Amino acid sequence: MKKLDWYILKKLLTTFVFTMLLITVIAVVIDTSEKADDFVRSGMNTSQLITHYFIGFVPFIMSMIFPLMVFIATIYFSSKMAAQSEFIAILAGGVRYNRMLRPFFIGALILGALFWFASQYWVPKANEIRTNFQSTYIDNHSSYNGDPYRTNNFYLRVDAETYVGIKYYDTTRKMAGSFFLLKIKKNKIFYNLRSETIRWDTVKKNWILVNAVEHTNNGLIETARIIPQMNINLNVRPEELKRDEYLKDKYTTPQLKEFIKKEEIRGSEGLNTYKEERYHRDATPFSVVILTMMGAVIATRRVRGGSGVLLAIGLVLAAIFVIMDKFSVTFATKGNFSPMLAAWMPNIIFSFIAGWLYWKAPK
């Protein structure tokens, strides 16, 4: 690391920190004004709101804007240096163009690695704080509460041949008013179990059926019996029956991987949302490197109009990146698009754009 490397790296990091803090403060102010009524309704004082909401909201908003803030910071300070002919002086002094880009690449790796680790562990922990407040004090008072008939009815595939239905489930009492279990082999039901009530046994850590009726079909032989009370292991815990729209945001990456693996064994549908989130946590930190190098290639040249023109170009490219990212997520979660490809598609496209800009850059 030479003086030139430290000079550019220092400018990159300090500009990024300033830009990130500025935008985060603006986001906090806007969010506070929008949720003022919810904060009053919660009955919490300022210190409680900080520990129960904002300590989770700030990392969340930072994770959303992190790659774009790196991109904007790179363009901003680089264009300032270009306007003062600093890059021209560096190149005229015998420094090769690729060598001049080295501190940009080092800074991108540092910020990308930091963001990757935060995305895997820190941000999900912060999201747990934010979403707990959101679901308790904001969503519960929303005018739209979703489908009331789906909130306490669950239909699960426990294993390859076992299907379970739990109706009218009470998450507080851990009890349901109706239960059925079907075992199917070769498109034929060979076992049927129903009960009027099912509840969680906190001692034995399994489920208790009350007034269960068991039907067994073995070819031409069919048997039925009534069981006043029986214990059954469904491989389903009560916390898994609580609908949580923020589950993918609250799980750390190891927890998210384990959840996806378990649900795939059960044959659950709609896992593309969780898979896309899993791959997105790896793809987004990599975009920090791509956007940093793209910003360096764009802003190290001196153009008419100064930094304003370069910032405008950067904002346009940032908007295109965000739109492309949102479209790919929608195609993955709502359609049949591969979640991995959806997460990495913006990076792939912008890698080619960055390569083309580098090839066209005057060296």
Give the Cα separation of 103 and 100 in Å (integer). 7
Do 4 and 103 form a contact (C-beta atoms < 8 A)? yes
Collect all residues with Cβ–Cβ distance below 8 Å to 344 and sequence separation of at least 6.
Answer: 279, 283
Q: How many helices (H) and strands (E) does the chain have?
A: 13, 6
74 neighbors 19 (Cβ within 8 angstroms): no
- pLDDT at position 324: 84
Residue 183: CB atoms within 10 A of its CB come to: 18
What do you get for the CA distance between the two ends of the chain, in Å? 22
Taking only the tens of pLDDT, the chain with its 363 residues reads: 688 889 999 999 999 999 999 999 999 999 999 999 889 888 889 899 999 999 999 999 999 999 999 999 998 898 888 888 888 888 888 888 888 899 999 999 999 999 999 999 999 999 999 998 888 888 765 544 444 444 577 888 777 788 888 888 887 788 888 899 999 888 888 889 999 889 998 888 889 998 899 988 877 788 888 888 888 888 788 877 766 678 889 999 999 998 888 878 766 667 888 898 999 999 999 999 999 998 888 887 766 655 567 677 777 888 888 888 888 888 777 777 888 888 899 999 999 988 888 887 776
Strand pairing partners for 191?
A: 183, 216
The reported pLDDT for the residue numbered 31 is: 93
Half-sphere exposure of 363 (CA within 13 A, CB side): 11
CA distance 28 to 129: 16
| Residue 142 C-alpha from the chain's centroid | 23
Q: What is the pLDDT of residue 21?
A: 95
Q: Give yes or no for a contact between 106 and 5, defined as CB atoms under 8 angstroms apart.
A: yes
Amino acid at 310: L
